[in-house]
Structure formats: structure tokens, C-alpha cells
Structure 1
Amino acid sequence: MSGPPMATPSVRMVARRSLLRRSAALGLVLAGGAGLAACGRQPVTTAGGPAGPPRRGGNLRVGMVGAGKNESFNPAQATSALINVAMCCAVFDCLLSITPSGRLRPMLATSWSADAASETWTFQLRQGVRWHDGTEFTADDVLYSLRWMAKPGNGMNANVAAVDLDHLKKTGPYTVTIPLKQASPLFPYSLSMAWIIKNKTTDFTRPVGTGPFVFGSLARGERSTCRRNPAYWDTGKPYVDQLTFYSLQDDTARLNALLAGEIDIMAQVPATQARTQLYGDLRLIRSTGTSAQCFYMAVDRHPFNDVRVRQAMRLIVDRRQLVDVALLGYGSVANDLFGKGLPYFDGALPQRTRDIRRAKELLAAAGHATGLTLNLRTSTVAPGMVEAATLFQQQAKKANVTINVTQVDPTSYFDPTRDYLKMPFAQSFWQGFYTLGDFYSSSVVTGAVGDETHWANKHTDALVAAAIAAPDARAAQAAWARVQAEQYDSGGYIWWGNIDNIDAASNKVGGLVPGPYQNLGLPTGLTEAFLAS
């Protein structure tokens, strides 16, 4: 596609009656359609929802940015799109999960403990859990899952990168002993988004999990359905009878569907819509947290293989303007590091600010005194990305840097079989990490599944390994400071904004509690949700 528009498409007023008449079976929203907006009413940006205890029944309909042919219930592919994460959270369970307050919560594991060195962990498994086909969940399923996650190309391999698979064993039908290649006091956090699959599973066409919902159907790029698991181990949950995900790439289409009452929840609300186009029977579900957006540069590709160019690009960007314009203030300024709010994040580093004079000096020293032309890839895969790309394009002109912006189809943007991980200059957003170790293991170490900057080298591998293995908080803070200092000084990421997670819901939706890690309160948010009518 050609370059992106200057802003999110405006929403035109259309009579509600006319829209509803034309939108049977989501025909309008699946096609894009015209917008629904009303004049003279103040937008609602506060929490709400039905009062009283959770109610049972109904079909909870969720509109999400689609992933087209890449939509899947295969947990190995979940990290490529938020819709896949939500689908896997519905059907599968992890050994444990993390609460909005950051505490670990038992799931398929009821307890866990480590030896004195944090090198060997023992997990006691929940008894009486049944797979959706009626068979019993046991330690064999966990052993198989951990080995399966470790395979190259599996999106969860960073979660088990520290596991010594050769010595992994069960010490009883409901006990698993997990030895590590190195000490890791925070290892259980790595398993809080690592879905357990049934022993010997190779096909996810009709996935069998232990989760709160049972797979119903999947029409890639359109919709998927799951029905309530009546035998779920967490007694009484979930509350709704059915969960339906609608795949809607276009932001306006998702808004139309919500306003028309054709979906109950809209995930990933763009800031422009959050600010101006939600009214009294709807509410925002907003949380601040660890999600962040960035531009990234492949450090092995010209001209970014010169650290001076990377440093110059970081001095060109006006982070405050990007947050104020691209996010409309729904976020905060970042400082070229991911993980604000996570344990051991280094908030003491000086806030990097725009310095065009110094940027020009660095570019001249790198042989680009007369200017530089770059091609930047972007997508509507996350709110604010296209707007940020367009604004960065304008900001760079002051430093004689020309940025040509190309917008990529969101259904393929994070597809590693296409251009993802091959783009020398592009945008990304990361969320859902509970420790710095998980993020850096996923992004910059050798073999990282999301090695966007092509940074991997033995020196960084050693720094990250030492930080993960740090025996106490003081040592961990110092070790992680070294990891972050390297990235802050010479890395390939330009982290410009910590983004709020923004969803919207009908006021008849209750129980959906925002969390700091992902949209929709994932991983357990939709399990807790209910419909008032």
C-alpha cells in the first residue's frame, strides 16, 4: 500500500435506523461501512457496567483487530496477534497466571517451590482437571508442552529458554520437576503466559484444552466461537454461555459494530475514538501499564549498522509530541527502553529529548552530512502506529532525513513468513511481559523469536543470563542496569511511548477488569466477564 493517511479515518454521521437495516449478520461491519456518531452528547470515559453479582448466560461478542489467514488457536502462533492471544486464553490454561496487581495466581499448578539456588523448581499440579475431550490432565501433558514450546519458531520458546529439557521429569502423576540451565528466582513468571497443551497434540484444527471455553468454530478473518466449559476446574466460571470473536481490521468498522450493538466489546480503541466518539451507553476500559510502542532499526543493515545513525535517530524524535498527537495523551513518554513498571526497570537514566543539532552532527560523522533517505514500514495493527509514523516523518525533516512511509496490511504485519523480522526500519508494539527477563529473551538474545533489531550477540546473551540468574534484588538491579544501559546507549529500538490499554464495552458488560499487561484484562479477563441481559 502507499503511505498512510494523516490520521484515523473520520467517522461520519449515519442514521442509526439506516445503519441497522443494512447491517444484518454483521454484513456492514465486516465490509467496513460508514461510521456512527452522534452530535451534542458528551463522551463517556469512566468505568461503569452493571451492578450486583455476576449473571449467567448469553453470547459475549468481542470485536478485535483481525489477523486474517494467520488467525489460529495454536498457542505457538499466539504472539503474532492479540486476537490469537485472546482465543488461546479462552481454550487453554497456563500453570499459573498473573493478577492485575502483579501477583502469581495458581491455575493448573496449585503450588511451586525452588531449591535454595533457584536452579530447580517443583510444581504441584491441580488434580481432577479434565481436557475438553474428557481425559485427565497429568504431569505428562506438562512435560510434553514444555518440550513443544522449546522448538524453534514456537512463539513461546522464550518462556522455556532457561529450562534444562534433558533433565526435565515428573516425580509423580501430578508433580513436575523443572531444572534450569541457570538460576532464575523469577522463573514462575515465565510460565504465566505459556499455555499447556495435551500430550502428543500436533493438530490445532479443533483444539482440545483445559480452559474456560471449549472450541466451537473458526472462520479465519471473519469470526471464531467458543462455548462455556461446564466442567471447568474454577467452579462457577465462566459466566457467559458463548464467546464470539469478530475479526475486524478496520478501526471504524469495530466502532460501528459497537455503536450498533452488534458487538459487546471493542478491543484496542484508537485514541481518536476514545476521546470523541463513545457515548452514554458505552464505557472505556482503560489501564496504564507496561505496553509500549517503538520504531526499530536493524543494526546489521545499512545505514543502521553505524551506531551514530541509530543515536541520531533517537535524537530526532519528539517523544512528547508523539504521545500528545498519536496517542492523544493516552500514554506517557518512554525513554528508549521497554518495561516501565516491571521489576528492575532502570528509571534513573536521563530522559532522552530531541536535539536536532546533535543529530545532524552524528549523521555528518557517519557520512550523511547532506541528508539521509529511509523507508519506514507501519500498520494499523495497533492504535496510534500510523499516526506516529506520519508524525515522525515530519519531525525528521528538521534533520534533513527523508522518511518514506509504507503502510502494511495488519493481517500480515507480524507474520515471520512474510516481511516481519526482515524489515530494516519499522514499527512495533510489545505487551504482555511480566519480567524484563522474558522481554529481553524474546527480543535481543541469540535465537529470540522477536529479534526485530537483529541485535543478538554473545556479550548481550551473557549480560541477560547474568541478570536473570541474579541471586537477590540488589544484584538483580545492578545486573539489569547493565543490560539496559547497553540498549539505551547503542540499541536498535526507539521506544517513544508507554501506551495505555484502551478497550470499550457496552454498559451491559460487567466483570471486565482492566489490567496493566494486556488489553481485555487478559489472560483471565473474558473468563470473569458477564452480561447483564
Structure 2
Amino acid sequence: MTGTSYSRRSFLRDASAAGLLLGLGASSLAGCGRQPSMAQSTAAPTGAPKPGGTLRIGMVGAGKGESFDPSAASSALINVAMTCAVFDPLITYGPDMRLRPALATSWTSDASGSAWTFKLRPGVAWHDGKPFTADDVVYSLQWMETPGSGLGPAVANVDTAKVSKKDPNTVVVPLKSPDTRFPETIALAWIVQAGAKDFTKPIGTGPFTFVSLDQGQQSVCKRNPVYWDTGKPYVDELRLLSLKDDTARLNALLSGQTDVMAQLPYAQAKSSISEDFWLLRSPGLTAQAFYTAIDQEPFTDPRIRQALRLLVDRQQLVDVALNGFGTVANDLYGRALPYYDVALPQRTRDLAKAKDLLAQAGHASGLTLRLQTSAAAPGMVEAATLFQQQAKDAGVTVKISQVDPDAYFDPTRDYLTMPFAQTIWQGITSLGSFYQTALLKGAPGNETHWTSQRTADLIDAATSAPDDASARMAWDAVQQEQYDSGGYIWWGNCDNLDAASKKVGGIVPGVSQNLGLPTSLAEAYFVA
């Protein structure tokens, strides 16, 4: 879903993913796990920035779900982009996943990691001219824990009632339990103006100021002339066009109606990008899965869930649905993140065992399921169709129904209500961000309807662990449980693919999510 992360689907999908868009720095990535592959793309433009112009980006639309509300950013990549345009976090991260100062210039903790002090950037103004101060940060951290907020996981360990302003440019953030990696959790938690509740006309501190939003059509923002990152953004106007149809989005790019296309379908990446355009490719943290709601029949039986995992041919899904732009996953999210359990054996197709489990569960004569899919992200419909074929070999009949992309990741419509469906997560840069968003009771991305108190206790132990060994032990237990009996079938780690005119530079593909978000919008420019 664009973590937070981010997406959530972005998901997503970051955010909310979605975030779901909560960040983890490269120092930790290097220290505790395998570093994600660095971005790869075709040759980017090399000319100097030419200030001015209107940058038009074609994005997968979310219809009535499109919003500038930072707490809903993780529901769709287009919402992530709108949030990145108008708002700033305390801490951000670059394409290399290293933490970068944003509204906070520094952060330090006490000896135990139980309280953190953030020094704020002086001289920053809100778009309405009001000065940015510690009061805005205190309000934002408390606002994030509003029920249903996609930013809730960022402050889950914050004692929000005791967050205090030391002076206009200093905030002290006490935690419920020690966390020496709290800056990684709070990264990309967007700061709003004190008192803000209505984001139909958002006021931020970001590189662009809000002009208009026509849901399902486009959003328009203009350059913030007093942005704190001097000289940026380079372009005068930003237009995010809502184009849920892949062909329409590609045609808009090829015909010059847009300058950048987000989420380029994998087949088109190989066949449609000419020398007038460049491909932004970033292997990394995006992944796709099928999922089951474990409180809905027949998925209440863990033998059914395990059988479905065993009948999947993951390599075929990567080769066909992703056109090879990805790698095989192992029924867990977060390969390349710290504490990802690489010791678990790679699950492969085992039809005999799948049939045996189905028989044990009372379905020896066959099983019929309805899989809900959508063109909400590249490869999803193709994966559903191929899974339907693979399932036949185990005596499972899969009936596919397509859901409108506008509704698929909209929590007010179809999202979280589908018993058997698909998902894509990106923008999630720590295991804590993912599991707190996906597996806790009432969490904004709890697609599988997981409510285990044991899991919640393990996640709490992992996120508050005093050392790496304790954290790894707890995370291993969480992942073993999901590997054995969870509701997800993570089959592929997907490359992020976008395309742009060679007149556009400054966008650096990143491992977290498409378009080089979150930093790319301020850094994009037209080549002189």
C-alpha cells in the first residue's frame, strides 16, 4: 500500500503507506542488513537546470480519494506526490536512503534513547506567511495519532501528551520506551500548521504552494518563492495529472502532453520508450503480494493459506507479470531491510503438498475462490491472471473480478474489505513501519485482518529492543509466524519504473518509491 509508506501502495502505497512512508536511514541499512541495490536507469539528461516552466506528471489516479491530507498520503502514489509538494517532514531521506535534515536541522537523544531533542530550522515560513515554530511540531505529533491516520505508526511510541517546546526552535519528544532509532521512524512524518484539520486548501512549508485540486483530473501547485532550500524548486508550476489508464498515461507522455510518467507498465518499458525519453529504474523496496483476510472463510484455516503459498510459481510471476523487472520474494515484506530474515528457506512451488493441505482442510475435491484485482499498479492484473492458471494445477478455481483503481486502495470504499485480493507496498523503509501498519489491530493497512496479541507483543519488543541481538530475535519470531501462517503471499520484489522526457532532469531514481520521491519534486528541472 503507497509507506506511510508509504507507500502504502504508492502503496503506495511508501505510505501510507503508503505509509507507510516512514523512513529508515542508510546508516542502519548498512549496519544491520543488506544495502538495497542502487538505482539503475537509462542515461539521464546532463544539461544545467533552466529555471521556470510547468512540470506535468502523469500519475495513476485515485479519483475521489485524491487528497492533500498528509495523514492519507499513503493511500496512493498521487497523494504521496501532492503531500511532498506542499509539506515538509522534520527529517527526510534521499534516493540513497540516507537521512537528510528538513524542518529539523539536528536531532539528539539522552543516553538511553528515551527522549529526543529536535533543533528546528530557523526562518522557515508557512505558505500564508506565518513563521514555522515548535508549536507546529508539538501539534503535528499529537495530530498524527488521530484514529485512522496513516501517520499513526510514526508516533506509536511517542508520549504525545508530554511532547514539549523548549524554545521556539527546539522540541523535546519523550518516548514510551527507549528507541535509539527513533529518527528513522519519524522520518517523513509530515508537519502541518498548528490547528490544521481541513486540507482542502492546504498550507504547508514545502517547495510548492497549493492552487487547486480537481479530483480525478489534476492538481496544480506553484513555486514557493521563499522555500527554505534556497534556489529550489526550479520549476514555476507543478501539475499532477490523474490518469488511471496505463495507455492514456503513456500516450500523454509520448505526445508531449506530459513531461513525466509515473509507474510505467513493465511491458511498455521494454517496447515503448524511444530515444526521446529516459527510463527511471530503481530496484529496491517495492513488493507485490496476494493476501487473504484470515477472519473470512475459507481463509480462517491456516492450511488453506499455506496451500495457496505452495501452489504459486513465483519466478514465473516475476518473469511474466513484471517482465523480469524484479526478483522473487519469499512470503515476507522487506528484503534488504535491517532484520529481514534471510535464513528462512526460499519457498518454492510444491503442488503435492498444496493438494495434501487442501485435502486436510476438507477440499480434496477442489476449492473455488474469488480474487479481486485492479489496474491500480503495474503487473497486478497480469499477476492475477497468471495465478488463476497456476491454481488450476492444484484443483483451485480462481474467479477474477476487477475493481476500479479509484476504489481499490480507498479505505472508505473497497480497501480492507476484500477477502482475497492483491497489494503493493512501497515507501516502507523499516520492518517496524511495515508490521506496525499491517499487522496490528486497527492499523490503517491491516489487509489480512491480523489481530494476534502475541504478534503485537513481539513487534513492541522488537521496536523497543535495547540492542541489535534482542531486536533481531523478536523480528525473527514475527517473520517466522507470518512465513508459517500469515495471510500474505509475497511473490515479487518489483523495480520502480517511470519514464521522462529528456528535457527533464534532476529526478534521481530511488530504492524506496517511484519518481525519486520524496525529494524529486523540488529538484526536478527542465534542461537548459
Q: Please state whether the residue corresponding to 1:478 is helix, strand or coil.
A: helix
What one-letter code is carried by the residue in structure 1 that aligns with 2:120?
A: L
Q: Kindly state the Cα deviation for residue 52 of structure 1 after the two structures are TM-superposed.
A: 3.5
Quick check: 1:91–1:214 contact (8 Å CA) kept in 2?
Answer: yes
Q: Please state whether the residue corresponding to 1:290 is helix, strand or coil.
A: strand
Quick check: 1:444–1:455 contact (8 Å CA) kept in 2?
Answer: yes
**CA-to-aligned-CA distance 1:74-110 (integer Å, 9 cap, x gap):** 1122111100000110000000101222211100001
1:520 maps to 515
Q: Kindly state the Cα deviation for residue 46 of structure 1 after the two structures are TM-superposed.
A: 4.8
Q: Please state whether the residue corresponding to 1:448 is helix, strand or coil.
A: coil
Distance 1:460 1:174 in 2: 38
What one-letter code is carried by the residue in structure 1 that aligns with 2:482?
A: Q
Q: Show the 5 A alignment for 1:464-479.
A: 464-479=459-474
2:178 to 180, 183, 189: 183
* Matching of residue 216 in structure 1 with residue 211 in structure 2: yes
1:155 maps to 150
Alignment RMSD: 1.1
What one-letter code is carried by the residue in structure 2 that aligns with 1:508?
A: K
* Matching of residue 280 in structure 1 with residue 262 in structure 2: no
2:488 to 476, 493, 502: 493
Quick check: 1:62–1:246 contact (8 Å CA) kept in 2?
Answer: yes
**CA-to-aligned-CA distance 1:251-306 (integer Å, 9 cap, x gap):** 00010000001100000001010011111101110001111000001111111111
Distance 1:203 1:46 in 2: 39
Q: Show the 5 A alignment for 1:21-420.
A: 46-420=41-415
Distance 1:480 1:184 in 2: 15
Q: Kindly state the Cα deviation for residue 446 of structure 1 after the two structures are TM-superposed.
A: 2.3
Q: Show the 5 A alignment for 1:437-476.
A: 437-476=432-471
2:426 maps to 431
Quick check: 2:148–2:443 contact (8 Å CA) kept in 1?
Answer: no
Distance 1:233 1:306 in 2: 54
Distance 1:403 1:192 in 2: 41
Quick check: 2:41–2:509 contact (8 Å CA) kept in 1?
Answer: no
1:31 maps to none
Q: Please state whether the residue corresponding to 1:243 is helix, strand or coil.
A: strand
What one-letter code is carried by the residue in structure 2 that aligns with 1:115?
A: D
The count of aligned residue pairs is: 489
- What TM-score, normalized to structure 1? 0.90
Specify whether residues 46 and 78 from structure 1 end up closer, same or farther in structure 2 by C-alpha distance, changes over 3 A only: closer
1:532 maps to 527
Quick check: 1:49–1:506 contact (8 Å CA) kept in 2?
Answer: no
Distance 1:380 1:52 in 2: 36
Moved more, 154-163 or 253-262: 154-163
Distance 1:390 1:317 in 2: 12
**CA-to-aligned-CA distance 1:26-69 (integer Å, 9 cap, x gap):** xxxxxxxxxxxxxxxxxxx9523332432211111100000111
Distance 2:42 2:422 in 1: 31
Distance 2:521 2:386 in 1: 35
Q: Indicate the percent of aligned positions where both proteins have the same amino acid.
A: 61
What one-letter code is carried by the residue in structure 1 that aligns with 2:519?
A: T
Distance 2:161 2:42 in 1: 49
Specify whether residues 46 and 77 from structure 1 end up closer, same or farther in structure 2 by C-alpha distance, changes over 3 A only: closer
5+ long unaligned stretches in structure 2: 1-39
**Bigger Cα Rg:** 1
Distance 1:172 1:489 in 2: 50
Distance 2:41 2:137 in 1: 41
